[in-house]
Amino acid sequence: MTITRRHLCSLIAAAAASTCLPEFAQAQATFPDKPMKLLVPYAAGGGTDAIARLVAQGVGERLGQSLVVENNGSAGGNLATAQAAAASPDGYTVLMANQGPMVVNPHLFKNVRIDPLTAFDPLTLITAAPLVVVVAAGSPHKTLAELVGQAQKNPGKLTYGSAGNGSASHLATILLAQTAQFEAVHVPYRGAGPALTDLLAGNSDFMITTVPSVLGLIHGGKVKALAVTGKARAKLFPEVPSVAESGWADYEATAWYGFVVPKGTPKDVAAKLRQATVEAINSPIIRERLENEGAEPIGNKPEEFAAMMEAESRRWAGIIKQARLAIN
C-alpha cells in the first residue's frame, strides 16, 4: 500500500494524540499532587474565615493535600474574587463564595469587571445560617425594638459596623433599615473581627454579624444578642427572638457559604473537590462544629447552587436599587 504524505501526517498526529491522552488522564487521576489554595474574600477572624478554615481542613484530609487558606478582604472581596477568576482552571484554586462577592457586589460596585455567576463553576453550597444583631454589653439598648426606636428618633446618629461593603452583615442591616424604616451610618471593615473590636471599644452602636464571629463574645458576656435574622429562633440562642418576632414579620436574612472554582475546571477534578467537600461537612466532627455555630451542612448539587445564587442575585439587586447604594 502506498502511503501518501497526508496519510503519514495523519498517522503521526494520531500517534502523538494517543501518547498524550494517557498522560493527561493520569494527571487528572492523580489530582491533587500538590497543595491547593482556598481564597477567602474576607479578613481572618470573621465568620466566613472560621467556616472556610474548618471545611478546608476536612477537604485537605480527604484529598491528601493541604487546602491552604488565603485571606484578602480588599475592595469588599472583589480583589480575591478577581484573582480566583483569573487563576488557572486546574482545581488548585478554590474560592469561598458567599453573597457579598458573588451576588451583591456586581450590583453595588461600579468597577466590578467580572460576572461571578459566569466566571466560576459552582461546586456546592456548604451551609447557611442566620445572623445575629448585637450591641456591646454596656449598651443602653436591651431589645431590638429599643435600638430601632432610637434610630428612628435620631436619623443618621447611630453607627453600625460590617464585615465590608456588600458583606452579609452590611446587606442584612440595609434590609433591616428598609424594613423598619430608619437611617444609620455604615462603617465597613475588612472582616467581622475588626468590626467587632470597634463595637467593643464603643466606636459603633450595633452590628449584624455571623454567629461564628461573635459566639465567643456572647458566651463571654462582652456583647448582647438582641435578635437573630432567620424567621425562627436559633437553636444556639433559644432565648433570643428573631427580627420577625420583634415586630418586622417580613424580615429574613441568612449568611451562606459555598465553594466555586474557575470556569472551565475539568469536570472530574471539580467532582473530586465537591465529593471531598460534601464528605467533610457531613463528617460527625465538622457537622457538630457547624451546628454549634448556628449552621447546618447542605452539600447540594452544582446546578442547585447555581440556581440559588441566580435567585439571590435578583433579590439583592432589588434591595440595593431601593437603597440607592453604589460604591466606586
The pLDDT tens digits for 221-263 are 999 999 999 988 998 899 999 999 999 999 999 889 999 999 9
Q: Which three cell numbers stand for residue 196?
A: 467587632
Give me the pLDDT at residue 167, please. 81
**Which amino acid is residue 208, in one-letter code?**
I
Domain spans in the chain, listed from the N-terminal domain onward: 35-129+255-323, 130-228
| pLDDT of amino acid 47 | 75
pLDDT at 21: 43
Strands (E) in the chain, as ranges, are: 36-40, 67-71, 93-97, 120-136, 159-162, 185-188, 206-210, 223-228, 254-262, 296-297
Residue 196 has pLDDT above 50, yes or no: yes
CA distance linking residue 199 with residue 201, whole number of Å: 5
Distance CA 147, CA 140 (A): 9
Q: Are 161 and 202 in contact (CB under 8 A)?
A: no
pLDDT of res. 116: 96
Please determine, for residue 295, whether its predicted confidence score (pLDDT) is greater than 90: no
Asked if 195 contacts 162 with a C-beta cutoff of 8 angstroms, the reply is yes
pLDDT at position 100 is 87
* Rounded distance between C-alpha atoms, residue 109 and residue 86, angstroms: 19
pLDDT at 29: 65
* Mean pLDDT to the nearest integer, 111-133: 94
Residue 75 φ/ψ region, left for φ over 0, alpha for ψ in the -120 to 50 degree band, beta for the rest? left
Closest residue by Cα to residue 192 from 175, 168, 173, 216: 168
pLDDT at 11: 44
Burial (0-12, 13-18, 19+ Cβ within 10 Å), 18: exposed
Which residue do the cell numbers 441568612 mark? 254
State the sign of the Cα–Cα–Cα–Cα dihedral 85, 90, 96, 102.
positive
Bridging pattern class, strands 159-162 and 93-97: unpaired
Q: Sign of the CA dihedral 117, 50, 210, 76? A: negative
pLDDT higher at 273 or 165:
273
Which residues are paired to 187 by β-bridges?
161
* Matching fold, domains 35-129+255-323 and 130-228: yes
Q: Using 50, 70 and 90 to split pLDDT, how confident is the model at 285?
A: very high
CA distances from 208 to 27, 159, 195 (A): 45, 12, 10
Determine the pLDDT at residue 1: 47
Residues in the chain: 328
Mean pLDDT of 209-228: 93
Residue 272 identity: K
Mean local confidence (pLDDT), 272-284: 97
Superfamily of domain 35-129+255-323: Bordetella uptake gene, domain 1 (3.40.190.150)
How high is the pLDDT of residue 7?
52
pLDDT at 279 over 60: yes
Contact 94, 273 (CB under 8 A): yes
- Name the least confident of 4-18, 158-172, 257-271: 4-18
Cell of 130: 442566620
Q: Comparing 4 with 104, which gets the higher pLDDT?
A: 104
Percent of the chain clearing pLDDT 70 (strictly above)? 91
**pLDDT tens digit string along 23-44?**
444 445 689 999 999 999 988 8
Average pLDDT for 110-129:
94
User: What residues are paired with 242 via a beta bridge?
Assistant: 228
Over residues 280-287, the mean pLDDT reads 95
- 172, 208 contact by CB (below 8 A): yes
Amino acid at the residue 274:
R
CATH superfamily of 130-228: Periplasmic binding protein-like II (3.40.190.10)
pLDDT at 208: 97
pLDDT digits (tens, 9 = 90+) for 44-97: 887 788 899 999 999 999 999 999 999 998 888 899 999 999 999 999 999 999
Query: Quick one: pLDDT at residue 16?
Result: 47
